[in-house]
Structure formats: structure tokens, C-alpha cells
Amino acid sequence: MSKTGNAADSPNDNGALIQSAADAHLFWNQTFAWISSHYLNIVIACAVGAVIIAVLYGLRMLGGRLCRREHLGHWPRIIGRAITRTNLFFIVMLSAKIVSGYAAAPKMVDDTVRFLFIVAAAVQAALWVRELVIGIVEHRAGDDEGGASTLASAIGIIRLLVTSACFIVAMLVILDNVGVNITGLVASLGIGGIAIGLAAQGIFSDLFASLAIIFDRPFRRGDTVRWDQTIGTVEGIGMKTTRVRATTGEEVVISNTNLLNKELHNLAHTMRRRATLMLGVTYQTPPDVCRRIPEMVKAIVTRQEKSAFIHCFMINFGASSLDFELLFDVIDEDAEVFNRVRHEVCITILETFASEGIEFAYPTQTSFTAAPDGTAVMPYPTGSLAERRPARKKSTA
């Protein structure tokens, strides 16, 4: 049976070898005939192709120079880095494609050049898109004092995903151009992507949250942020979590998704910080002195550097005080400057009120006693100490 099978297969194998040899012989004959009849066009086309190769190679060198020039900005460097990824194989095949079209190459030669050009163009497009996307992401992540270390782990995953996506699309384009039906392949990739997305839903949620931090920039590393009852400085932004050093000293680790779902206050770039002070003076303060308190306070605030007086008014008759509200702004981003100015204003108000004899009020209560008829009486006897002492009985000897 084995011998019979080998004998039956051998004519087919021999036929295939003969057909391949015939195709190769036909290819070389057509190529030689084409060169013999169109040698002048071929020479001109080769010269044009050489010029194209030189121009494209020069553009690639220009891209390398753009990458090394910091003063040009980030976009020229990103474009330059993409240009430097231009493959020499693509340059050659682009020139060959132009040459074959101009020199009227035979069908087999033209089909071969066309196939190689499609492969080179698809791979080259994937390389360009990959470099542009990764360059933009790295620029957005590294455009602060943290440099390229910001979101380094997330960028590693992004680089892998972008590279995979670009080359999968390039492969599909190549297969589609060579006549392969890619409908089933695309469907299987879609189903596989859905399965992976459902399995790693939490990871991808935090990954996209980190991308939102990259592009939307609600905060950067080193910014002071506040949410809920937490205030701290951002120390690191990762693929899944953000680390914040709280003002109380501990490190707070929160997932990117949860952090972006909260109402976040970025205190790092506050150009004006407003201070609100409530001043309560005693009810024994004369009305004319109360009228002068806003002007006193305004003079104190305006003497401070980087401060802007807003208003000072009496706003309420409190339970134990006459209440004044003071509002002023400190025009500086630094929270330390704000605290120092507010401290100086408070100390100066305390000194000024002390020199003017103005007393600050604090919660006190006074109790009054009354007789059954409603008249006020003292809560203690009013007589002299001698009168209040009980008389001693005289002893009899």
C-alpha cells in the first residue's frame, strides 16, 4: 500500500516541479525580453529611482537631526523620530514600483514588485503610526518635572498594544491584497478581543483612566490635590494606581478609576487663594469703634505683600459677640506664602485691637436670680461678714 501511494504521488510531485521550473523559466525570459526592448526606459527609470532613494534617504537623515534639536519643540521631534523609522526596504520598493510603472514591466515582474511594495508599504505605515502615537503619548506623559518616568509602566503597556494593533492591521491589509478572505479572521479577532476585554475589565478601566490622566491632565506629579477628606501631594502615577503623600504623612494609594470619579480639587496652580476670617468683638464695644473696625482691618491687609483686600463688614449679632467678616486674597500659587500672609494679618489684627482696647468675645453666660415677684436679688447675702456670722451663746460659769 505504501509503495502504491508513493508511486501515485510521484507524478504529481514531478508535475509541480516541472510547472515551477517552467514558471521560473518564463519569468526570466519575459524579464530578459523586457530589458532588451526597453533598456532606455529602464535606464531612465533606474536613474529616477536612484534620485528617489537619495531624496528619501536624505529625509530620513533630516528626521534624525530633528530628533536631536531640543529648541524646535516636541512636534518636530516626534515627526523626526517617525521619519527616522523609514525602512530602506520600503524606499527601494517605492522606487521599484515607480520604475516598473514607467518602464512598462511584464506582468510577472509587475505583480512581483506590486506584492513586495504592498508588504513594504503596510509594514512602513505600521512603523510610522506606531512612532507617532507612542511619541505623542510619551510627550504628554513626560512634559513635566517627572520626565519620561511618569506613567512609565502604563506607557510600556500602551507601546505593546499600539505595536500589536498596527502590525495586525498591516497583516490584514497584506492578506487582503493577495486575495485572502479575511472576513473570518477579522471576526475571530473581534471575538477574541471581546473575551480579553471582559476578562481584564478592571485592568483596562484603570489603563484608560491613566490615559485620561495623560491627555486631560487633571493633575501632574508634584501637584497638591484634595478629594473627600484627603489632601496631599501626588508622588507617582502608575498604570493602575496613583500614590499621594497626605499632609498627615502617610501614603495614600487610590486606583485611577476611583480617583477620576471623585470631585478632585487641584491646589497646585491656584493663582489667588482667598482667606476668610470671622472676628467677634464683645457687646461692650462702642458703636463708633465698630464703625472703625473695617478701616483698621483694611489698612492691616493692604500693608501685606501679595494681598488684595476684598471686604470687611459686620454681618451678625451673635450669641456672645458682634460678628465681622473679613475677606482678602493672597496672589500667589505657593500655599506657604498664603499661610504666612494670613498669619501676619491675624497677628497684626490682634496687636491693633489690643492697642485700641477692643476685646475679642468668647462664649460666656451670666445667670440672674429673681424673687417670686420677679425682682432681681443677689445670689449671695449682702450683709457684712460680722452680721452674717451667727451669734455665739455666752457660757455660764
Q: What pLDDT band is residue 7 in, cutting at 50, 70 and 90?
A: very low
- Shared-domain flag, residues 77 and 164: yes
Q: Containing domain of residue 95, as a range?
A: 30-199
Is residue 384, in this structure, part of any structural domain at all? no
Q: Decide if 328 is inside a domain.
A: yes
Q: What is the mean pLDDT of residues 146-169?
A: 70
CATH code of 247's domain: 2.30.30.60
pLDDT in tens, 112-152: 888 888 888 899 898 888 888 888 877 766 655 444 455 55
- Whether 42 maps to a domain, the answer reads yes
Residues 278-318 pLDDT 10s:
999 999 999 999 999 999 999 999 999 889 999 999 999 99
Nearest to 74 by CA among 134, 130, 135: 135
What one-character-per-residue DSSP string does 149-189 give?
GTTHHHHHHHHHHHHHHHHHHHHHHHHHHTT---HHHHHHH
Q: What is the CATH number of the domain that holds 312?
A: 3.30.70.100
CB-facing half-sphere around the CA of 132: CA atoms within 13 A: 10
* Mean local confidence (pLDDT), 359-385: 73
Q: What is the pTM of this model?
A: 0.51
Strand 265-266 to 251-255 pairing: unpaired
Higher pLDDT: 315 or 74? It is: 315
Residues for the chain: how many in total?
A: 397
Q: Are residues 188 and 62 in the same domain?
A: yes
In a domain, 72, yes or no: yes
Question: Is 363 part of a structural domain of the chain?
Answer: no
Say if 362 falls within a structural domain. no
14: in domain = no
C-alpha cell at 57: 534617504
- 169 with 314, same domain: the answer is no
- Asked if residue 184 and residue 42 are part of one domain, the reply reads yes
Specify whether 127 is located in the same domain as 58: yes
Closest-CA residue to 67 (of 84, 85, 80): 80
How far apart are alpha carbons 69 and 73 in whole angstroms? 8
Can you spell out the DSSP letters for 222-234? Answer: T-EEEETTEEEEE
Query: pLDDT (tens digit, 9 = 90+) per residue, 213-248?
Result: 777 778 888 888 889 888 888 888 877 788 999 988
Whether residues 55 and 152 fall in one domain = yes
Calculate mean pLDDT across residues 183-212: 71
User: How many domains does one find in the chain?
Assistant: 3
- Sequence letter at residue 290: C
Same domain, 254 and 309: no
Contact (CB, 8 A) for 345 and 301: yes
